[in-house]
């Protein structure tokens, strides 16, 4: 495979990794948007039950806790998606450079043998 073909193959693979990563992040964003809407709707539905300050504080605490847990989960999921993409990209790039270094080594050996003969 020529250097040009290897470069094109790497570019295509990197594009696919990027596209897949962006699709996963978009899906996660849509899921989280829906969760946050449901959380807010639940909060608003429970507001009429509030009759005193302590009930309001408890409701607010529950809302804040649920929101914080959702944000933490979202950040972890996004981190996992990006980590996977970085690992895949690194693997693809290492593979290309390993192949290239093996090609250079083989050509150097061929030249050395030709000179020795």
pLDDT in tens, 61-95: 999 999 999 999 999 999 999 999 999 999 998 88
Q: What is the pLDDT of residues 11-41, one digit of tens each?
A: 999 999 999 999 999 999 999 999 999 999 9
Any residues with CB less than 8 A from the CB of 18 and at least 6 apart, and which?
85
Is the pLDDT assigned to residue 6 strictly greater than 90?
Answer: no
pTM here is 0.76
The separation between the first and the last C-alpha atoms of the chain, rounded to the nearest angstrom, is 28
Distance in angstroms (rounded) separating the CA atoms of residues 54 and 77: 34
Is the pLDDT assigned to residue 113 strictly greater than 70?
Answer: yes
Check the CA dihedral 43-44-50-54 and report its sign: positive
Any residues with CB less than 8 A from the CB of 39 and at least 6 apart, and which?
63, 66, 67, 70
Is the pLDDT assigned to residue 4 strictly greater than 90?
Answer: no
pLDDT band for position 1 (cuts 50, 70, 90): low
The pLDDT assigned to 105 comes to 77
Contact 95, 7 (CB under 8 A): no
The pLDDT assigned to 89 comes to 95
Q: Is 39 exposed, middle or buried (0-12, 13-18, 19+ CB in 10 A)?
A: middle
The DSSP code for 52 is S
The pLDDT assigned to 76 comes to 97
Q: Is 30 exposed, middle or buried (0-12, 13-18, 19+ CB in 10 A)?
A: exposed
């Amino acid at each position: 495979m020529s250097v040009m073909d290897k470069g094109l193959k790497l570019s295509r693979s990197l594009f696919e990794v990027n596209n897949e990563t962006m699709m996963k992040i978009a899906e996660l964003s849509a899921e989280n948007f829906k969760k946050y809407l449901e959380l807010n709707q639940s909060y608003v539905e429970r507001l009429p039950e509030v009759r005193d300050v302590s009930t309001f504080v408890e409701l607010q605490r529950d809302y804040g806790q649920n929101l914080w847990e959702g944000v933490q989960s979202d950040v972890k999921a996004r981190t996992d998606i990006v980590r996977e993409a970085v690992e895949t990209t690194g693997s693809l790039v290492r593979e290309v450079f390993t192949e290239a270094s093996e090609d250079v080594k083989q050509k150097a050996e061929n030249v050395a043998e030709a000179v020795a003969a």
